[in-house]
């Protein structure tokens, strides 16, 4: 099998302490939803569960930490083999202010 064929094969990444299956071109958010996860962040006030809301990167409900980088929108970031995705902790997009 050549590298081009391998690039089309399903793969796995880690979400918190779970293994998630993904397909090439699939976002982290889409893979999480396909695996049955509907929320992976909690609001600062009240702790309400959040996941994909708009699906196009306008809101910040789907924030996750990817490979140590917080505030990544799961609906925009393509999943990659071996990624380490963590539940978003903390202030969310407020941390992006300069």
Q: How do residues 40-51 score in pLDDT, each as one tens digit?
A: 988 878 888 889
Residue pair 43/21 in contact by the 8 Å Cβ criterion? no
pLDDT in tens, 48-90: 888 999 988 898 899 999 999 999 999 999 999 999 999 986 6
Dihedral sign from CA coordinates of 38, 61, 78, 96: negative
Q: Is the pLDDT of residue 34 over 70?
A: yes
Q: Is the pLDDT of residue 5 over 70?
A: no
Question: Which residues constitute the domain of residue 80?
Answer: 3-89
Q: Is 80 part of any domain?
A: yes
Q: Is 95 part of any domain?
A: no
CATH code of the domain in which 24 resides: 3.10.20.440
Q: What is the pTM of this model?
A: 0.83
């Amino acid at each position: 099998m050549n590298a081009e064929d391998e690039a089309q094969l399903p793969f796995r990444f880690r979400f918190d302490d779970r293994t998630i299956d993904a397909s090439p071109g699939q976002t982290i958010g889409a893979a999480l939803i396909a695996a049955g996860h509907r929320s992976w962040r909690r609001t600062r006030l009240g702790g309400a569960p959040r996941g994909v809301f708009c699906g196009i990167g306008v809101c910040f409900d789907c924030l996750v930490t990817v490979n140590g980088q917080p505030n990544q929108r799961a609906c925009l970031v393509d999943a990659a083999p071996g990624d380490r995705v963590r539940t978003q902790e903390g202030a969310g997009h407020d941390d992006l202010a300069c």
